[in-house]
Amino acid sequence: MHARLVGVPGSHPCVSAELMLRYKGIEFTRLDLPNMTHKALLPLLRHRGSTVPVMTLDGTRVSGTMKIARALDHFVPAPPLFPAEDRATVEGAEAWADSVLQDGANDNRGMRGRGPDAKYDPNWDWHAQNIKMLAALTEKGYDVNFCWGIGAHNGKHGGAILPDSLRWLWRGWKN
C-alpha cells in the first residue's frame, strides 16, 4: 500500500497527516505545493477541495486530517490512531476544533478587509478568545504563560519576547 500526500510547507495539518501515515507504517510520497497556491492548484490536480492536506490511498482521494484519519483506520486498522473507548471524546474534540478553530481562522482573514461599518462580534475577537483559553487551561491545571503585546504579531515582537519565553520554558532544567 502506498499513499500520496499533498500539502504545503509549514502546514500543521499536513504534518499531522504525515505523522499518521508514519504511525500506520504506510509508505508515502509527499508533494509540497508552493505556499498560498494550493487553492488554485488542487483543482488542477483533480482534487475537489481547496484545502490541504489531501491524500490518495489505493486510488481513494481524501482531504482533511479528520477524513484522512478515518480512511487510514479503515484501510489499515492496526495500530488504531486512537483507542476505541476514546472515540467519542476524540470525535467531540475534532468537531469542536473544526467548527471553532477552523471557522475562526477563515473569518479572521475576512475581518482584515472590513470597513468601518463592520459590526463587532466578540466570538471572533482573538484577544478575548485567548483570554478565555488562558482561563480554561489554568482551570485545568496546565502550566501556561501567555504574553500580551501591543502592535503587530511579527518578528520584532517575537524577538523581543524570545529570551523571556526561553527562560520560562527551560526554568528548572538541570544539565
pLDDT score, position 91? 79
Residue 95: half-sphere exposure toward Cβ, Cα within 13 Å: 6
Q: How far apart are CA 15 and CA 36, in angstroms?
A: 17
Position 55, amino acid: M
Predicted confidence (pLDDT) per residue in 29-45, tens digit: 999 998 888 888 888 88
Task: Please indicate whether residue 70 or residue 100 has the higher confidence score (pLDDT).
Answer: 70
Q: How far apart are CA 154 and CA 1, in angstroms?
A: 43
Residue 114 clears pLDDT 80, i.e. is over it: no
Position 77, amino acid: P
Q: Domains along the chain?
A: 2-75 (3.40.30.10), 119-175 (no CATH)
What are the Cα distances from residue 159, in Å, to 144, 150, 153, 167? 20, 14, 11, 14
